[in-house]
Chain A
Amino acid sequence: MTCLLCDKPLHDQPTWQHFLGMQQDTFACLTCLEKFERIDQVIQNDVLDSVHSLYAYNEAARAYLHQFKFMQDVALAQIFAPALRRVLNDAKKIVVPIPMHPVNKKKRTFSQVDALLEAAKIPYQSLLEKTTESVMGEKSRSERLAMTELFHVPADIPYNEAVYVLVDDIYTTGTTLHHAAEALKQRGVHRVEAVTLFRPIREK
């Protein structure tokens, strides 16, 4: 087994923790993992009852997302599986990934959020559909605000009382999550939370 990020061999001699099932599978070496800065930042805004971002969007995160999304290295979904599992492992909440537009998904060959959740073995419900092919980063602020509807909820929502958790890879302007939460709330959902892997933080 080698590190998914730097290819150096991982020391995988079994320890007593393996035998007790405490040791989780590792996919990256400590040197690589240490480059990610855990922040666990939680914020609230009008529609979203909470947004929990796990890591800072730093240089390592940028390189990670580049290899994962742009180079299409699906295997990298494993790296944050343990962290996501710990945060999302709550059977009472319904996990909803932020979707890609079908055309973009076909081009990329996979949806990064679905891949992250599948690696983490978190059950999810694809309740949202993306209505536009364009990507948030390509739009100006005024264009983003002027957009009426980014997501569409095609089916009925069964349990309005349940807590819904949106998952996305990165929190940038908040527009995406805002629209997704609004789409759910319009269908009668009471509480919508969100978890994102990364979030830019201001340099100290």
Chain B
Amino acid sequence: MSERNQLKQFLAGRIWLRHLLPFSEEAVDEAMRQGDIHIEPGVTTKKTWHGKHYACQRCHNENQARFTVFTCAQCEAPCAYCRNCLNMGRVSCCSELLTWTGTPPTFPTSHRMNWQGNLTPSQQKATSELLESTKQGVSHLLYAVCGSGKTEMLFQPIHYVLQEGKRVCLAAPRVDVILELLPRLTTAFPDTKVEALYGGAEVEHFDAQLILATTHQLYRFHEAFDAVFVDEADAFPYTADETLQQAVRKAAKPNAPIHFVTATPSRQLLAMNKKQGHISVLARRYHGQPLPVPRSVALWNYEKQLKKKRIPAKLLRWTAERLEKQQPFLIFFHQIELMEIAEPLFQKLDERICAVHAEHEDRKERVQLLRQKAVPGLLTTTILERGITIPNVQVAVVGAEQTIFNKGALIQIGGRVGRSVPNTSGDFVLFHQGITYAMDEAKREIRKLNHTEVPQ
């Protein structure tokens, strides 16, 4: 493919900083001469009665607290930059954002789907409904419990969009989820150009038709996709951040459907899709066994005891039992500091036990060690609440009453247990000092899903 063509395939649907484009200056200049590229300033300024009002043209942030003004040596004037999308390359008043305005690119209409998995009747029903919504261009919420095999349910709808010669995006809020999805999708669509975008990833393909991206990366797209699937739609930081939701809408073409996939939909998401979209509920795991219902065990003063270098008796017994039965385990903590106090205490039981949290760069390797049984168990923050499967894993939450363990988080954490055959159940224990509304709610929701009738 010529560089000019590559530039078109790449830039169409994106909004990109000029100096970060992976193309030669000549190719960019030539396209500009042809009128195929539009340039706009990264940050625009409006004068208002209370001073200047800035707007980021990439992420659409207009929260004035998220802009910093400085004396710029490049434009030799006071210049504002956006801190909201800083990690994708700084955008300021004097930086140039490029969009493609020439003829749109075309994509192949023949794609092989290499996947012979069997869908259960419930899965097939949900996937057909999702496919139907995709054809109609209507937003769809796939409410599927943890371990119901939701990725597989996306294959047929994604295949449909690809066959139409259209561009698809599968977005997830966390890098971990993207990295887990990537190999499964490249296997399922072996001939399709697939690209994963996340902080620090290099551009590999210029003409990807199926794009996997963290929701953050969608800031860099503009009316690019004919369908967007948002996986783990409830996870931080997507729910927390309105500009991220805008980013998803901005990345999709005006009439493109935006689908949401989650095991723990928020009230807003349910309400939104009830009003103007469709919903499929998948209440059963792919192996047909019920979700593990948590049991609550009081664990008083656990914080004090850990600080006194003592593992509380009930927690100690629970861990010893896992070690004895050689069952892999995860122990969730609400706080990094407390977890790091606990780490050396647990290492006295077995020196291979270790802690993982968001800032550990080798957390993927540590999870892998747990899967291979090289490590008997991990202490973790909520970072491992979703996206991972470890056969026969047993789960404890220490301090289940803490606010970080809301209903959604507890359901996700429980969703780690009993995911695969033959270990379709396991222990899911909430150590607490006082039962919260969230704990009750989580339990009620799990029971309700377990009693939902499913198609046979």
Contact = CB atoms under 8 A, between A and B. Distances in A.
Interface of A: 1-2, 71-75, 105-111, 115, 118
Interface in B75-123: 79, 81, 83, 86-87, 90, 92, 94
A109 B79 contact: yes
Contacts of B65: 1-2
Contacts of B83: 73, 75
B74 A73 contact: no
Given A1-B65, A109-B79, A71 B73 contact: no
Interface in B399-435: none
A110 to B, nearest CB: 6
B383 to A, nearest CB: 15
Given A1-B65, A74-B81, A109 B72 contact: yes
Contacts of B34: none
> Which residue, B65, B72, B79, B83, has most C-beta atoms of chain A within 10 A?
B83
A82 B86 CA distance: 25
Given A71-B86, A73-B90, A75-B68, A110 B81 contact: no
Nearest to A74: B70
Nearest to B94: A109
17 contacts: A1-B65, A2-B65, A71-B87, A71-B90, A72-B81, A73-B68, A73-B90, A74-B68, A74-B81, A106-B74, A108-B73, A109-B70, A109-B73, A109-B79, A110-B70, A110-B72, A118-B71
Contacts of B90: 71-73
Nearest to A59: B359
Given A72-B81, A74-B81, A75-B68, A109 B86 contact: no
Contacts, number: 35
B263 to A, nearest CB: 26
Contacts of B79: 109
B86 A73 contact: yes
> Which residue, A2, A72, A108, A111, has most C-beta atoms of chain B within 10 A?
A72
Interface of B: 65, 68, 70-74, 79, 81, 83, 86-87, 90, 92, 94
Given A73-B83, A109-B72, A110-B73, 9 more contacts: A1-B65, A72-B81, A75-B68, A107-B74, A109-B79, A109-B92, A110-B70, A115-B70, A118-B71
Which 10 pairs from chain A and chain B are nearest by CB? A75-B68, A74-B70, A72-B90, A109-B74, A105-B73, A109-B72, A106-B73, A109-B73, A106-B74, A74-B68
Nearest to B67: A75
A109 B74 CA distance: 5
A115 B73 CA distance: 12
A75 B69 CA distance: 8
A105 B70 CA distance: 14
A168 B186 CA distance: 49
A143 to B, nearest CB: 27
> Which residue, B65, B73, B83, B90, has most C-beta atoms of chain A within 10 A?
B73
A115 B79 CA distance: 14
A154 B65 CA distance: 40
Nearest to B336: A31
A111 B79 CA distance: 14
A72 B83 CA distance: 10
Contacts of A72: 81, 90
Contacts of B86: 71, 73
A108 B79 CA distance: 13
Contacts of B94: 109
Contacts of B70: 74, 109-110, 115
B61 to A, nearest CB: 13
B105 to A, nearest CB: 31
Contacts of A73: 68, 83, 86, 90
A25 to B, nearest CB: 14
A108 B81 CA distance: 13
Contacts of A118: 71
Contacts of A2: 65
A181 to B, nearest CB: 25
A89 to B, nearest CB: 22
Nearest to A31: B337
A74 B72 CA distance: 10
B361 to A, nearest CB: 11
Contacts of A105: 73
Contacts of B74: 106-107, 109
> Which residue, A74, A106, A111, A118, has most C-beta atoms of chain B within 10 A?
A74
A110 B68 contact: no
Nearest to B237: A7
A108 B95 CA distance: 12
Contacts of A106: 73-74
Contacts of B71: 110, 118
Contacts of A74: 68, 70, 81
B174 to A, nearest CB: 16
B73 A111 contact: yes
Nearest to B75: A109
A106 B74 CA distance: 5
A123 to B, nearest CB: 15
Contacts of A110: 70-73
Contacts of A115: 70
Contacts of A71: 86-87, 90
A111 B86 CA distance: 18
A75 B86 CA distance: 11
A73 B89 CA distance: 10
Contacts of B68: 73-75
Nearest to B87: A71
